[in-house]
Amino acid sequence: MAAMKTARFLTLPVRGLRMHCTHWGRDDAPLLIMLHGWGDAGASFQFVVDALAQDWHVAAPDWRGFGRSDWAPDGYWFPDYLADLDALLSALSPETAVHLVGHSMGGNIACLYAGIRPRRVASVVAIDAFGLADRPADEAPGRYEKWLNGLAATPPWRQYDSFEALAERLRRRNPRLDAAKAAFLARVLGRSCDEGKVTLSADPAHQRVNPVLYRRAEAEACWRRARAPVMWIEPEDESLRQELGVDAAQIATAKACFSDFREHLIPNAGHNLHHDVPEQVAELIERFVLAAQNRSPV
């Protein structure tokens, strides 16, 4: 890979846990907050940061229980991510509205937060983050039962013989990764464990099923309150949407919720666009955020 921009790492106390945060750029540069998805970590935005042409202060936290942040002893509840983001922004930008960039789960958090705290958000870039399919109420008993069963015994993550073996696993899951990117991501996402083995750094408790059913109407109510400009960056490949059961009608309704919305589709990329096509993602982010700063049309 080309030379990487230098990252620095800070730990902030956030709601009783230590939140690990990767930073790039000068503290006095315009601030971008980058929010990773499920199973990822903030430092994996490195490829996008390397492709940014302007000077930015980028801050990318590891969500609770992911990366190098503390594990939550009582499990993981989606509203906690919103509260963690709220506390993080109070520390990093207490007076000024922020530009949020989020991938997958991080993008869904950013879009919800933009409607919950509309005055705290200057713009949102959501990367393949379109919400989940609505779940019917009659699924609740079985979901709660499955959750209770999972509390009794949470299996550990698989172990690998080395970081190189983990990197190879990442490449099998995403063939678009070259060897250098995979090797970097293996160090970001993995940690050493017993007997020289390597495993994922995330808390295995994230494997438990979420007992709370997704209510798309609640997400839409939050999205309708957002006042910041919102851009979705999506792969042309719709296989993930189909896998999650989010149909074209739900996507159209979601887009209509945002008062200032645009979308960019990128060919030849998978769900992890920030890994697959970081240069295109960086260009779209910069153009969009600079336009938001200048209040000019994109």
Poorest-pLDDT segment among 75-79, 152-156, 184-188, 198-202: 152-156
Q: Using CA atoms in the order 76, 82, 86, 87, what is the torsion angle rounded to 10 degrees? A: 0
Give the pLDDT of residue 1: 59
Q: Which helix (H) or strand (E) holds 176?
A: none
- CATH 3.40.50.1820 residue ranges of the chain are 7-134+214-294
In this prediction the pTM is 0.96
CATH number for the domain whose boundaries are 7-134+214-294: 3.40.50.1820
Phi, psi for 30 (deg, rounded to 5): -55, 140
Mind listing the pLDDT tens digit for each residue in 254-297?
A: 999 999 999 999 999 999 999 999 999 999 999 999 999 887 44
The Cα 179–Cα 166 span in angstroms is 11
Mind listing the pLDDT tens digit for each residue in 74-95?
A: 899 999 999 999 999 999 999 9
Mind listing the pLDDT tens digit for each residue in 98-156?
A: 999 999 999 999 999 999 999 999 999 999 999 999 999 999 999 999 999 999 888 99
Q: What's the token pair of residue 266?
A: 């990128």
